[in-house]
Each structure stands twice: as C-alpha cells, then as structure tokens.
Copies of this chain bind each other. A is one copy, B any other.
Amino acid sequence: MRTLVRSGRVVTAADEFVADVLVEGGRIAAVGVELGVDDATRVIDAEGCYVLPGGVDPHTHTDTPQLGTATCDDFTAASVAAACGGTTTQIDFALQEPGQSLHAAVETWHGKLADAPPVIDVGFHVSVTDLDHAGSPAELGELPGLGVTSFKLFMAYRGSIMVDDATLFRAMQVAARVGALVMVHAENGAAIDVLMRQALAEGRTAPRWHAATRPPATEGEAVNRAIQLAGLAGAPLYVVHVSCREALDPIARARRRGMAVWAETCPQYLLIDRSALDADGLEGAKYVFTPPPREQADRDALWQALATGLLDVVSTDHCPFRLADQKAMGSDDFSKIPNGAPGIEHRLALLHHFGVRGGRLAMSRLVDLLATRPARLFGLYPRKGTLAVGSDADLVVFDPEHRSTISAATQRTGSDYSLFEGIEVEGAPRTVMVRGQLVVEDGELVAEPGHGTFVRRARFGESLPIAAGVA
C-alpha cells in the first residue's frame, strides 16, 4: 500500500522544506512536489504541519527491577506512550542480574518483548553489572553479533549494580575490540554512598536529601573518569543523562581534543529545579530520579550545550513508577524511593515548546537531537532517524499549533503522575507511522500491539542497511 503525506513541512537534520512524502513498502519512496498518486494511495494531509522522522529514544527502562519492585510499564505500555508522543524506536536496557550470564540477560529482555508486544520498534543495550565469572568478557564480545551493540555500565548505586573501574575498563576494552558504544551512568557511587549513609544516620530522610547526597561534583568526577578510561581503552563513549555544568566541562575538554565522546541530557534536567525535591512526602518523591534535578544555571548551560553541539541527544530516561504504591515505599526514607520517573511520551512536545518555540533550537536541530543523532550513534541509521529515501517510513505529522496540557490524567504510561503536570505546551503529534503503518491518528492509538519488532542494530560507526541493492 502506498501512502502520500501531502504538503507538510519536511524537516531533516539538515533541511526544512515543504513537500509531499511518498511511502511505499514501509519505506520512504520519494520526497517531492506533485508526486503521482493513484486511487489506491492513501493520502494524509499534512498542510500546516511538520513531517518529522519518528523519534529514537535511546534511554528507557521497561519492566525493569529496582529495589524489589519494577518499573510499571511493560513494552506494550511503554511503546504506546512512546508512539503517542512521536517516538517510533526505543532502546531499552537488558539488565544483567547478579550472577546472570549476559546472554541470559538479553534473552530475558526478548521474553519481555514477546510477552508484551510493542507498537514501535525496539532495540536493546545490555547493562553490564558483572564481568567476573568465567566467560563474561567473551560473552560480552558476542552481543554485537546479536544486534546489541552498546554496553551500559553504572558508576553509581554502590552495593547494587555499580561496577568498579576494572570492570568498566575491561568492558571498554571489549567494546573497542568488537565495535560497541560504551554508555555510562556517571556518578561517583562510593562518595554518594558515604553521604547517603551519613544523612540517614543523622535522620535526614526526606526527599531533598536525595539531591543533597548527590552533589554535582560526584557527577563531574565520574564523567571525567569515564572519559579518561575510554580514551585509554580506545572505546567510543556516550554519557547518559548529563545534568550539570560540572559534567559538561570534561566533555567539552574531550571534544576539543577530538576524543570519541558524546552525551545526552533529558527533559527533566532542562526543565525541573532542584527545589522540587523540597516538597515533603510523596510530592517530593516524584522528583527522586538520578542524577537529581539541579540549578537554573545548569539548565541554561544544558540548553546552550544542545544548541552548540556539545550535547548530541535528548533522551527521556523513562523509568516509571507509581506514586501510590511504589514511590510510597520510601515515604520514611529517601533511599528506599525507587529512582526514576515517567517521560517517554512528552519528549517531542516539551522540546518543541521550550526549545523551538522558546527560541533555543532550530527545528532541524530538534530532529537531529531526537532522531538522527541517536540513530547514528546507536547503529540504527539510515534505517531509522531520518526521512531519507529508502529509510523506514517512521514518521510523525506534528501540528505545531495544537495546544494541550500535560497531565497524569491523560497520559498513557502506567505511572500515576507526571513530572510536567499542568504545563501547557504548543505542538503535538497528530499522525505517527511506523514502517509505513499508521500507529497514531489524530492523537489516538490505532495499531495493535505487535506491530513493533526487535531491531538488530549495527556496530558502532557502521550503517544499518536499509534494503538490498539500495544503499
């Protein structure tokens, strides 16, 4: 079936122009004016709207255990929220449980995907927590062959999933050898652990101590450490959820020296102030995510870094919990509040509203940050992340004038609150297509779970072929 998206304002990471987009066989067949249409062609009118590549969200935690509970979205739920928000590919973290083999971790995630089939396409990173049992490093080296081409390591959460520098460095060496991208959650977990224990020992249990025990220097230090070790190992590095100036500084120094270092931030670091944690009880618990929200000067620095290219990606770190029964676990002790918050659904609307309408980002830069750069860095490009001829027809018709108010009452995630409750934004996805099939129409889900599928990603620096004989 052919579909023509007519007269929209097409935006790529480089260009912006009014044209029709012709979709055929699930891929972009042509972009142009007055493209031929026969009677069998479905026509979608996009006049007055942007036509964007579907978003790629490289940082989500779906159905993932933490502190004895698990994030409250399965892949069906997360992907529906994603789709409604204009994201057509998510990359989730297959988490290695203690003692578990890495293959088993990936298999577990395939099982989750099979059990709760998604409406958008899904890739996996692996979160490495243990390289010490026999065979682990070799196993890690095999994962790219299975399409899992990025390795995440946690420098925080001591006593749980934190790895030491030897594990981090060895994973980097494997990555360098097999063509994988290393991702780090960069916070000095040891110093944070000391500060947390001291705070709790002093009876400082309210949510605000979550931020107070994770000062910016712990993030800046860890970012620098990861960069130095990656440089030594010869591995490309991607720093997740950068939140503060202290973390931007070592990234800027690395870039200036031409090192292979990239980084992302998330909407919550661009928009939420540290003072949100000052609210007592569950209200404050909403904002317990890691790193914590920071100061206005940090947000200014992050916006500037997005504009100037120091940061490459905005992801969501979607990690949803319910307030009522999950966040509430820590009502007497901030260290027992599950860390994370929902976010997969509002990335595009928030970045368009505060970034583009706010005068901080051009539309083509927005597309780069939300789709093209993550697709390139994570081995999905050119199949995903752009509107090039031959690419998957993952696209969003985005109405920049549509006004809506973000609210837990209307969002799709299983979580019962939103970090952005009550914020009115201009711009919303109207139509979303995944590989040529309509998934969202007029803002409503129209696809069945299962349309989405696992994507084997290419190795770092390689392209994901889009079709035999074409590219």
Contact = CB atoms under 8 A, between A and B. Distances in A.
A388 B16 CA distance: 8
A151 to B, nearest CB: 16
A389 B10 contact: yes
A307 to B, nearest CB: 7
A355 B32 CA distance: 31
A228 B28 CA distance: 47
A266 interface: no
Interface residues of A, number: 65
A444 interface: no
Interface in A217-248: 217-218, 220-221, 224-225, 228-229, 231-232
A89 to B, nearest CB: 17
A15 B169 contact: no
Contacts of A190: 164-166, 168-169
A456 interface: no
A218 B19 CA distance: 49
A31 B20 CA distance: 10
Number of this chain's copies in the assembly equals 4
A386 B15 contact: yes
A158 B169 CA distance: 14
Interface in A141-196: 158, 164-166, 168-170, 173, 188, 190-191, 193-194
Interface string A430-471: 000000000000000000000000000000000000100011
A256 interface: yes
Contact of A191 (B14, B169, B390): B169
A36 interface: yes
A117 interface: no
A415 interface: no
Interface string A14-49: 111111001000001111111110000000000000
Contact of A17 (B193, B220, B389): B389
A255 interface: yes
Interface string A196-208: 0000000000000
B17 A466 contact: yes
Contacts of A228: 188, 217-218, 220-221, 224
A252 B258 CA distance: 12
Nearest to A390: B17
B231 A217 contact: yes
Task: Enumerate the 3 nearest inter-chain pairs by beta-carbon distance, A residue then B residue, closest first.
Answer: A30-B32, A165-B190, A14-B14
Given A13-B14, A16-B388, A169-B190, 16 more contacts: A14-B15, A14-B368, A14-B386, A29-B33, A31-B389, A32-B35, A33-B389, A33-B470, A166-B191, A166-B193, A217-B229, A221-B228, A224-B225, A225-B225, A252-B256, A258-B304
